[in-house]
Structure 1
Amino acid sequence: MTINNDRRSVLKNMVKGAGVLALPLTLTNVFGETQKVLGSVLHGKIRHSVCRWCYNKIPFETFAHEVKKLGITSIELCGPSEWPVLKKYGLTCALPWGEGITRNLEKGFCDPANHEELIKGFEDLIPQVQQAGYDQVICFSGNRRGMSDLDGMRNCAVALRKLMPTAEKHNVTLVMELLNSKVNHKDYMCDRTSWGAGLCEMVGSEKFKLLYDIYHMQIMEGDVIATIKKYHKYISHYHTGGVPGRNEIDESQEVFYPAIMKAIVDTGYKGFVGQEFIPSRKDDIASLKQAVTICDIS
């Protein structure tokens, strides 16, 4: 693919002084040298995290050790049984999850039949999250199953409002993930940013926010940077992923992540960005290094 002058300037700034500028300037050539340009010292504008499930074939302690070497400070989507390993390696969990129905994508808050079990599960989980030193936990809307968007939003709000006193007491934010219902999660309710923002308004607490997954929302609605600028006050976490395919976030896909990272930083965001792509190459850690480098804007 051809890289225009603006993108060429961005890339030169990102690898300035790294000794790779003599190479042909493509994302593949630049970020193929991540062993040379990354290391443990990062620019600091983006707080880097990575989702555990994308690297399940690597033993967890081995993965934690490798992540630490990259300068990544969080492994997320880990449950309570894995949190001690994170502490052992001086890592945090930017977005934990629980067990059972609390991490079920299809049986979520939009269906009143799930409310009793969900409320009990999160009432138990939220204090554990605080005790571990974390301040967010993921949650899901669940599937529509013929329900209207408005009814689903109202149902979600009823249950979430019951959880807000506990969330506020323990300073833990429930973060609902935006997922695409076009390709990966058919019938999922919280599949557009505007719907999620409407639910935030209906819940009416700063302890309920959205996870803006760039991969999912590029598929579902596009216009990523404008959407982030419009709705950033409702967003407390971000995920990456190459489109199409959810693989590496380099020139093999359609989204230019340095520009998106800049837009996120420009909103004043101070949270984490979690890498949630599935490596398609032989060396998973090399792909992770590349992704962190791409997102580590100066």
Structure 2
Amino acid sequence: MPRFAANLSMLYPEHDFLDRFAAAAADGFQAVEYMSPYDYSPQQLKQRLDDNGLVQALFNAPPGNIAAGEKGTVSLPGRESEFRAGFDKALEYAAVLGNDRIHVMAGLLANEADRARHQQTYLENLSHAATQAAKAGITVLLEPINTRDMPGFFLNYQHQAQAICKAVGQANLKVQFDVYHCQIVEGDVATKLRRDIANIGHIQIAGVPDRHEPDMNNELNYPYLFELIDQLGYSGWVGCEYRPRGDTSKGLQWLRDWQGRSSQGPA
């Protein structure tokens, strides 16, 4: 059965952030992920993990100036020093929190004519990050994001991400496969999971098209995909990165149904 992690940036908005750890544990989650830990000290977050018996699965490296609408700096020419300093900070947090996955957001491409220059910066920064991360046993993740939610994002397709990993050529650089983003941009999710599973380092889920619960009220057959993920031998965490329609705990009926179905075994 897939191992699910609660994304605390989206789940439990009815609670203050630090209280979301306990809420996730109360609902049976064994791991958490979130976009940014940097508003808190790593010691504060580690205490919440320990108090609630939770594993830290993933967080993002600093994404640049969020207030200005930035979505990562790793592909931005002239921002290399900022990205690398931010990644060093992410490694410091990971050393305390114990996670072995860090996602680096690619950033925005304002002008398609500049793609080649951004691509070169992207490759160089990813190579640097993967080299530094390897010293700590950490995997660096890059994630294709759909153009509807994030117009202008540098990386949109699964094949693009896989090609970049191949070009960098480091074993600890992998793709973060977000089923929601993949379905919106290109579809054919099951085929891409089968094709790319060897270099998928993390999976995230949400209902399509509205990014709500991954239940039967969306266009994807998630029970089928969960079974496929198991069949493919994926053993990592599956991040629940969706916006609850209402109360988070009540909305987890999809998870309780799946766990009940899985515990019964094959018919």
TM norm. shorter chain > 0.5: yes
Runs of 4+ in 1 over 6 A off after TM superposition: none
Q: Kindly provide the amino acid, as one letter, of the partner of residue 188 in structure 1.
A: F
* Aligned equivalent of 1:47: 3
- Which residue of structure 1 aligns with residue 131 of structure 2? 165
Structure 2 counterpart of 1:75 = 32
Paired residues, what number?
251
Identity of aligned residues (%): 23
Aligned match of 2:98: 133
Structure label with greater radius of gyration: 1
Question: What secondary structure does 1:72 align onto?
Answer: coil
Structure 2 gaps of 5+ residues are 263-267
CA deviation vs aligned residue, 1:62-88 (integer Å, no higher than 9, x gap)? 432232132211121151523331222
Map of 1:3 onto structure 2:
none
Verify: 1:87 aligned to 2:53, yes or no. Answer: no
Which residue does the alignment assign to 2:76? Answer: 111
Whether the aligned pair in 2 keeps the contact of 1:130 and 1:172 (CA below 8 Å) is no
Unaligned runs of 5+ in 1: 1-44
Q: Encode CA deviations 1:67-113: one digit per residue, 9 max, x unaligned.
A: 21322111211515233312221111211234462988524222222
Asked whether the 8 Å contact 1:49–1:275 carries over to 2, the reply is yes
Aligned ranges 1:1-298 → 2 under 5 Å:
45-54=1-10, 55-77=12-34, 78-79=36-37, 81=40, 82-99=45-62, 101=64, 106-147=71-112, 149-181=115-147, 183-281=148-246, 283-287=247-251, 289-293=252-256, 296=259, 298=262
Structure-2 change in CA distance of 1:248 and 1:163 (3 Å): closer
2-side partners of 1:280 and 1:116: how far apart? 40
C-alpha distance in structure 1 between counterparts of 2:188 and 2:47, whole Å: 39
Aligned-pair Cα RMSD in Å: 2.1
The answer to whether the 8 A contact 1:258-1:294 is kept is: no
Moved more, 221-230 or 241-250: 241-250
- Describe the shift of the 1:248–1:92 C-alpha distance in structure 2 as closer, same or farther (beyond 3 A): same
